[in-house]
Amino acid sequence: MTRMLLVRHGQSEWNAQGRWQGRADPPLSELGRRQARHAAARLGRVDAIVASPLRRAFDTARIMAEQLGVGPVIPDADLVERDAGEWSGLTRAEIEARWPGWIEAGRRPEGYEHDDSVIERVTRALERIERRHRGADVVIVCHGGIIYALEGYHGDPAGRIPNLGARWVTHHGGHLELGDRLLLASEDELTVPSVL
């Protein structure tokens, strides 16, 4: 049994501006760096840290690893955020102006990566991590879209997840089991991005 804690990265500069990120690579905001430092103190002992190579996730992981004395952080390209297509870099208001009603109707633009593709690559990543760290407690710093897709696939869409929100997943060798959500950010640093 391998326990994995999937953690949404700290606040990025685009989170702070309310912009859809997708595979764009904005850095962490100063608050995001602070959130990562404080989140590490809530974790306790972990055996390894794996992260999306996008800066907002990888830098969150690196800061946490330095605080915990664990490392190096292992990048995994299959953990990148879903592609937001034509919406990358736009605010919710800008999207609504150009694609009226699409967000609420669940419609997505050209180039948007759908759940089946996200699940396929995330499953590959989790299987690799389980083989490499069998029996360990592993922190995986990734993105909201990754966590939402995994929750939806397992029939547990739990709603919005804040920066430094997390979800336990247990890999039993042949199947995944979703555990509890938890919050690694303190109440005074809580940020819930207004977009995915």
Exposed / middle / buried, residue 102 (Cβ in 10 Å: 0-12, 13-18, 19+): middle
Q: Is 9 a catalytic residue?
A: yes
The torsion defined by the Cα of 109, 114, 115 and 118, in degrees rounded to 10, comes to: -120
Catalytic-labelled residue, pool 30, 66, 81, 120: 81
Q: Is 81 a catalytic residue?
A: yes
d(CA 116, CA 137): 27
Structure tokens given for 157: 């869409």
Contacts of 38 (CB under 8 A, 6+ apart): 184, 185, 186, 189
Catalytic-labelled residue, pool 9, 38, 133, 143: 9
Q: Which residues are catalytic?
A: 9, 81
